[in-house]
Structure 1
Amino acid sequence: MPRQLITLKLACLSGVIFLAGCADMGGLAPFGQLRSEQTVAATASLAGVKPAPWPTNDWWRGLGDESLDTLIREAVKENPDMAAADARMRLAAAQAGSAEAALYPTLDAKASFPGTPFPDDFPKPFAGYTSAKQINLTAGYVFDLWGGQRAAWEAALGQQRATEVDGEAARLTLSTRVAQAYSDLAYAFASHDVAIADLDRAQKLLDLTRQRVDAGIDSLALLRQAESTQASAEQKKAQTAQRIESVRMQLAALLGQGPDRGLTIERPRALNAAELSVPENLPAELLGRRPDIVAARWRVEATRRNIDAAKAQFFPNINLTAVFGVMALKGADLLESRSRFGLVTPAISLPIFDGGRLRSNLAGRDADYDLAVAQYNKTLIGAFNEVAENLSQLRSLQTQLASQQRALSSAQQAWELSTQRYRNGVGGYLEVLVLQQALHQAEDRLAEIQNRRIDASINLVRALGGGYRADTPIALSAASADVQATTKEN
């Protein structure tokens, strides 16, 4: 090759690189700062509780009802939300596969045998022949000189991994919702028991009042009051019975089934509340135990790689296209050596003036990164607060339960004494009525506290990740550290 031609090509290449500098990315950088677990003050809030192991994948077995295991497994299999999560995972995998395909060469085959003849008055050799027939292979390859296509693939892969972890988060959310609905069903049955007991007391009081009225001891007004109290107790019983049916339907919906499925759900056993305890290594390991934190971290990594892909567009790149094939007017001539042809076409693309498109694209990717970082920080802070809040609730409810049990015992004794006094003609009706209402409230309050303890136990399990554990915890990579350093400099 003549030296002048080589010199000319080098000069052109230098000019290309120089002109590429016209697409300037100066002044653009993300601002988001990733928080670490050490920066979230939670030591004092998590102190004073005994250590415990992390929840297992079948954490709900600790509640003490085997039927719940069947319900949760059915929900995971049949609930439409899980089907949607699976579809999102498959979509993300397809998008990652499409991005990966851009890294490899392409090869296309094409055969053309047109049947349109040239008119007879066309000059030879075309006159009387049909259009040229051809068979060719076209190969193409984009040289990823600056790693932009690989960065785009890694960004799609990060989104795929985040979506996969979202599926684990969806399973955790669904299992806790089923467990809480099951606990609500137990509470509905307990409330119904309280209503039945209250109706029984109201009926006995009504019978006693009738006897006293018939004996001329009490007035007819007190009888009407006793009848009203008994009717109110019947109404309460009907309300609690309807609440049972309502919760059963809610459970059926969570199972992905119709309302008839709810009718087959039996009364839950007495569920066990969790002890006031958390894992010893909570601050350090929570980041890898909460699926929402892991998914948020993957999205930070994905948006960081999108920044790299956007930056690569500012630099020149080389595309290579090669076409090989045969072409002839006669089909028989396609096998002749003279019909063969080949063409190799290199092309250089470079940004020079684009009206700010590349800068706007990079600025958008920087904003995506900042949004992902903000969401990660929000999720991280929220996770520690959820653990601390549920521990605080369990601590308070433990104290409330002991107090309410004493209150219920006292209310029971007071009502029995007042009823005995009323039967013996010593006490008054209003005294019995007031103490009956107090006893009903004490029983109802105890059932409520017990239900809230179960809910707080389930929420604590969810706050601890529900048995999830990241296979490969995502550490702050060197590239992410570079982004953080760039942010601080700007």
Structure 2
Amino acid sequence: MKIFRTLLLTSALLVHAVVISATEIPSEKKMLLSLDDCIRMALKTAPELGEAQADIDLTASKLGEAQAYRYPRFEMTALLGPAPGARREDFLRTDKEFAFKELTWFAGTDATLIQPLYTFGKISENMKAATHGIEVDRSRKEQRSHEIALKVQEYYYGLLLAREMKELVLEVQETLDKAREKARKLIDQGSDSADELDIYKLDAFTGEVSKYREEALKGEALALAALKTRLGLPIDTPLDITSQRLFTVDVEAPPFEALVQKANERRPEFHQIAEGLKARSALVEAAKANYYPDIFLGALLSWAYAEDRDRIHNPYISDQFKHLSGGVALGARWKLDFGITGAKVAAEQAQYNRLLSTRDYANANIPLQVRKFYLELKEAENSIAATKSAYTNSKKWAVTALANFDFGVGPAKEIFEALQAYARMRGAYFQSIYNYRIAWANLDYATAESLQSLAK
């Protein structure tokens, strides 16, 4: 029974320990959900998608910031404070002494308006980088959606597998109960084909099967709890699934080459890398733009007023406490940093080169991933046929052994061996169907088909 126990433990371990939400949602009726319903609900409540959307919003804000640099920037400084008094007649005096009693108050404002005209790509390239960055984050969100759909399918089919294993244990236990009842009847009738030793063996085997039944019940409860958690439901929510049995689908997998082509066309990772390369290329150009000046149109307005100061109307003399001046000019601002710009360009170029390596890795490994899932599907299909034939024959063996025991012509040992073989092969059959469904789910994930049916 070691292999039987392993299968039961496998079904229990198909789900992971997860944190259960403490929020309680009252429900009077049991929720009955199909696989598509579960995926839709998980996509609505998944915190990972909320994080991904926040990343999109953050990158969109960076795009808004880059766009804002195209518009004029206005800066104003206002001052209010004491100023010495001054009269016209004191203009040529060089011995006028400072006196506190002659202090007055002044108010002044300096305002500048800068309109960028040409920045050699600093603004446009950062806008381009942010635009492609948004597409990167959207692709990353789509990728997480496919991962969530795959995880829901693992939990959903894991629950079905746990229930199939539970039913198998109950079936074996029922057969053992019938065999024990028959053995006790033969002993009471004084038959030589059964003795107390057979009763002891049957009781020992029944106790072992009871242990497996408890493990199967635990696996079912854990699988259901994991599914509820993935759907964002409290642990005490009445929930069940519409599917009753694990079954295969009468669909033939497309050729491997077609699957790879579909993966190359649809996988969000490829779109993510392509947009990321465009964003990184724009950031490299934006960093190089710092080698060049910014051309701008500037306007200046300066005003100051003091009560006890006479205004001097002389273009060669400016009174910082009482004046009005302004103007418009074409300007250039150029910052030389002796190596800092070059280092920033090198850093952005390194990030671009890193993404090129990521693209090469994806080009090599995503087709390998598709092949792995494709071969797993073919293996599962063959295993289903083989284990079905094996458990069917072992079932016939068990029925024959039980009938022989009933007629008093067969030993109880035959029942144990037949039931062990039946349980092992029947469990392997269910495991093969589970592997088959998960292989299909993995293929859908690898070719970005996971959410296609939900959109129909």
What's the TM-score bracket when you normalise by the shorter of the two chains? 0.7 to 0.9
TM-superposed deviation, 1:131: 3.0
Pairing 1:84-163 to 2, within 5 Å after superposition = 84-108=51-75, 112=78, 114=80, 116-118=81-83, 127-134=102-109, 137-163=111-137
Aligned with 1:268: secondary structure?
coil
Give 3-state SS (helix, strand or coil) of 2:241's partner.
Answer: coil
Query: What residue number does 2:263 align with?
Result: 286
Alpha carbons 2:380, 2:432 under 8 Å: kept: yes
Distance in 2 of aligned mates of 1:138 and 1:152: 25
Question: What is the rounded CA distance, in whole Å, between the counterparts of 1:122 and 1:289 in structure 2?
Answer: 84
Question: Would you say 1:349 and 2:334 are equivalent positions?
Answer: yes
Superposition deviation, residue 180 in structure 1: 2.1
1:316-343 deviation digits (Å, cap 9, x = unpaired)? 4445543225332259x9xxxx953214
Given candidates 334, 343, 346, the residue that maps to 1:363 is 346
Q: 2:278 aligns with which of 294, 301, 319?
A: 301
After superposition, residues 397-416 of structure 1 pair within 5 angstroms as 397-416=380-399
Among residues 241, 254, 258, which one is paired with 1:266 in the alignment? 241
Residue aligning to 2:201: 225
Q: 1:118 deviation in Å? A: 4.5
Between the aligned partners of 1:256 and 1:177, the Cα distance in structure 2 is: 13
Structure 2 residue aligned with 1:380, among 339, 363, 376?
Answer: 363
Match for residue 426 of structure 1 among 379, 396, 409: 409
Match of 1:340 among 324, 328, 338: 324
In structure 1, what is the equivalent of residue 161 of structure 2? 187
Which of 412, 419, 422 lines up with 1:436 in the alignment? 419
Return the letter of the residue paired with 1:378: Y
Match of 1:234 among 196, 204, 210: 210
Give 3-state SS (helix, strand or coil) of 1:146's partner: coil
Give the CA deviation at 1:276.
Answer: 3.0
Cα distance, 1:230 vs structure 2? 0.7
Cα offset, 1:281, TM superposition: 5.6
Matched residues in 2 for 1:212 and 1:117: separation? Answer: 120
Matched-pair contact (CA < 8 Å) for 2:34–2:242: no
Post-superposition offset of 1:265: 2.4
TM-score (norm 2): 0.78
133 and 406 in structure 1: CA distance in 2 versus 1, 3 angstrom threshold: same
**How far apart are 1:381 and its partner, in Å?**
2.5
Query: Contact 1:327–1:341 (CA<8 Å) still a contact in 2?
Result: no
Q: Secondary structure at the match of 2:233?
A: coil
The reply to whether residue 324 of structure 1 matches residue 301 of structure 2 is: yes
Q: Does the 8 Å contact 1:300/1:376 carry over to 2? A: no
1:21-45 deviation per Cα after TM superposition (whole angstroms, max 9, x unaligned): xxxxxxxxxxxxxxxxxxxxxxxxx
| Aligned-residue offset at 1:119 | 7.2
The DSSP-based 3-state class of the residue aligned with 1:129 is: strand
> Residue 386 of structure 1 aligns to which amino acid in structure 2?
Q
- Residues 121-156 of structure 1 deviation map (CA, whole Å, 9 limit, x = unaligned): 99699944323233x542123444421332122112
Aligned-pair CA distance for 1:387: 2.1
CA distance, structure 2, for counterparts of residue 428 and residue 264 of structure 1 = 46
Indicate conservation of the 8 Å contact 2:75/2:111, yes or no. yes
In the aligned structure 2, how far is the partner of 1:301 from the partner of 1:426? 80
Task: Measure the CA separation in 1 of the matches of 2:211 and 2:174.
Answer: 13
Distance in 2, Cα, partners of 1:445 & 1:153: 57
SS in 2 for 1:104: coil
Between 456-465 and 252-261, the greater mean CA deviation after superposition: 252-261
The one-letter amino acid of 1:273's match is: V
Give the superposition deviation at 1:69: 2.3
- One-letter amino acid of the structure 1 residue matched with residue 107 of structure 2: A
How has the CA–CA distance of structure 1 residues 390 and 237 changed in structure 2, closer, same or farther, with 3 Å as cutoff?
Answer: same
One-letter identity of the residue aligned with 1:251 = L
The question of whether the paired residues in 2 share the 8 Å contact of 1:325 and 1:341 is answered with: yes
Q: Decide which moves more: 451-460 or 95-104.
A: 95-104
Instruction: Normalising by structure 1, report the TM-score.
Output: 0.73
Aligned match of 1:12:
none
Aligned positions of 1:239-250 closer than 5 A: 239-250=215-226
Counterpart position of 1:446 = 429
CA 1:118–1:342: 2 relative to 1, 3 Å: closer
Offset of residue 444 of structure 1: 0.7
Identity of aligned residues (%): 19
The answer (yes or no) to whether the contact 1:172–1:462 under 8 Å persists in 2 is: yes
Aligned partner of residue 294 in structure 1, secondary structure: helix
Call closer, same or farther: CA 1:284–1:423 in 2, change over 3 Å.
closer
Cα distance between partner residues in 2 of 1:344 and 1:122: 38
Give the superposed CA RMSD.
3.0
Q: Which amino acid aligns with 2:72?
A: P
What SS does structure 2 have at the residue aligned with 1:427? coil
How far the C-alpha of 1:79 sits from its partner, in A, is 1.6
User: Which stretches in structure 1 are left out of the alignment for 5+ residues?
Assistant: 1-64, 470-490
- Asked if 2 retains the 8 angstrom alpha-carbon contact of 1:289 and 1:467, the reply is no
**2:227 maps to what in 1?**
251
Structure 1 residues 468 and 182, CA, compared in 2 at 3 Å: closer, same or farther?
A: closer
Aligned-partner Cα distance in 2 for 1:133–1:122:
25
Q: Which amino acid aligns with 1:77?
A: K
Cross-structure match for 2:445: 462
Q: Look up the SS of the partner of 1:388 in the other structure.
A: helix
* Residue in structure 2 matched with residue 199 of structure 1 by the alignment: 173
Q: Is the 8 A contact 2:293 2:332 kept in 1?
A: no
